[in-house]
Structure 1
């Protein structure tokens, strides 16, 4: 890790909001659903799918959860009305998991039921370790009732993930496999980059072998290379998996993936509550800040 990246990763929580706002441009669709819809239309024209996410998490009242549920229903109906190639990502804590587990489940179930009605799909995002078991429980319950319309996510840096992969092979399987961005203890998560990558590749290969549909979510070129090798070795068709990337990150790699004949989905977040998301993104990938600084000072100009 460079000195610059180290400084960013250690100090990002203390950087003033206006500065982070500048860094965040290009990585968030905007403040409204209309912004996300227009961006999705642009990406769809390039042959790229999206998953739309309204920013906001760790709420304090169930009224807020109901508000996010209504936003989610509106997103699903807008996707249908606008004929977008997109689905919806949600976070359990955004829907009230830490306040009332069963009410949260009911909210998420309502969203998944609407997704089924509209022939769409809900991704239940994974969050930090304390809510992982509840998230997987929700997925297990919902996949029995709504197979094909709900999935969840797995994190490659967690020590438990290889066991979770096998344990959840007893039903419908649809996952986003990402590295993981939450700060977890060494007891819970691998810390060495090589260990994280090896764990990720091990999990990916096992998932694909056991018939799971996997969103291969990474911007790490070495993992993209490994994934393409596994896909080739298993002789998979492009409709058995997809690659996934964050908005605004490594657009050249995005083009490489598409040119190789693979499907690609871009994560399109929008909303007013962009600060925690941006802080995590910068902590995970400090090179974003490097690019932003170059733009600020005109260092990309020749």
Structure 2
């Protein structure tokens, strides 16, 4: 396993310790606000409006995952619908992300399908695009079934995510191709066993570019979700060399990560979206951000020392 993946595995393991969680929740609030828009919908909308003024569009995401009861899942659906109704009143592009386990996937696939269907029924006529997030490997198959079922019901404003660090992803790509998916491509942020995921960052990066170029060749719209300057440079080089217009793909980055690069790409005419999370359930999200970038660990330590 590469040094990068060893670091990520260690961070995610330590972050699962209840004492570590309590310490970070109690003392790292300043760091949280670097990556999370706030706990309320109003704070998230204010951040999105600020990004729009800089030429960067927002992907709004109500934080929460792996709910334990149907009541929790239905409560999350209600809050996501509140987000949909609020976005419908805004003049800028409307785009949200939802996690299947937030809507009860671990309880019942049927429940998750019902709640997602309810969101899409309200979102599509209001011009709100919905991205179905991908979570860890045990949930990939069920998530893809949800996507296919909803597309077969006629919902068109629904996107899917593929993760380049999983061995299975190229097969999933070909299986999804008949649906002509709006595809978000990510490397993957969860702790995965070596039996299902590539063990080396170089292999993950190579697979990321392979899948992205394959999707572009097949005529799909691709959202390249990455902060890696080398990958971004190669995507730019490839699309220019192949004559692929800028309206066939976009770049996506996290709120608070490389904001100047986001604005620079937008000024050059690329579509850029920032993933803007909000809500009270921010700890799992923050720990994955720490695991992705070693420099974030130093920010955490500084926050803890400074209170």
Same fold (TM over 0.5): yes
How far the C-alpha of 1:34 sits from its partner, in A, is 0.2
Matched, 1:238 2:246: yes
Instruction: Return the TM-score normalized by structure 2.
Output: 0.90
Structure 1: gaps of 5 or more residues: none
Q: What residue in structure 2 maps to residue 200 of structure 1?
A: 208
Distance 1:47 1:122 in 2: 21
Contact 1:59 1:93 in 2 (8 A): yes
Q: What residue in structure 1 maps to residue 99 of structure 2?
A: 91
| Higher mean C-alpha displacement, 30-39 vs 235-244 | 235-244
Task: Write the deviation string for residues 243-283 of structure 1: whole angstroms up to 9, x where unpaired.
Answer: 00001011232233223321100001100111111111111
Distance 1:78 1:286 in 2: 36
Residue in structure 1 matching 2:262, options 246, 254, 257: 254
Matched, 1:137 2:149: no
Q: 1:278 to 1:110 in 2, by over 3 A?
A: same
How far the C-alpha of 1:106 sits from its partner, in A, is 0.9
Which of structures 1 and 2 has the larger relative contact order (alpha carbons within 8 angstroms, sep 6+)? 2
How far the C-alpha of 1:147 sits from its partner, in A, is 4.7
How far the C-alpha of 1:117 sits from its partner, in A, is 1.3
Aligned counterparts, 1:61-210, within 5 A? 61-210=69-218
Distance 2:129 2:248 in 1: 16
Structure 2: gaps of 5 or more residues: none
Residue in structure 2 matching 1:266, options 266, 274, 280: 274
Task: Write the deviation string for residues 15-73 of structure 1: whole angstroms up to 9, x where unpaired.
Answer: 32224433222100000000010000101111111111111111111111111111111
Matched, 1:276 2:284: yes
Name the SS for the 1:123 alignment partner. Answer: strand
Distance 2:54 2:27 in 1: 31
Name the SS for the 1:273 alignment partner. Answer: coil
Distance 2:87 2:206 in 1: 37
Contact 1:147 1:172 in 2 (8 A): no
Q: What residue in structure 2 maps to residue 213 of structure 1?
A: 221
Name the SS for the 2:159 alignment partner. Answer: strand
Distance 2:16 2:255 in 1: 21
Contact 1:20 1:275 in 2 (8 A): no
Distance 1:240 1:171 in 2: 17
Say how many residue pairs are matched.
296
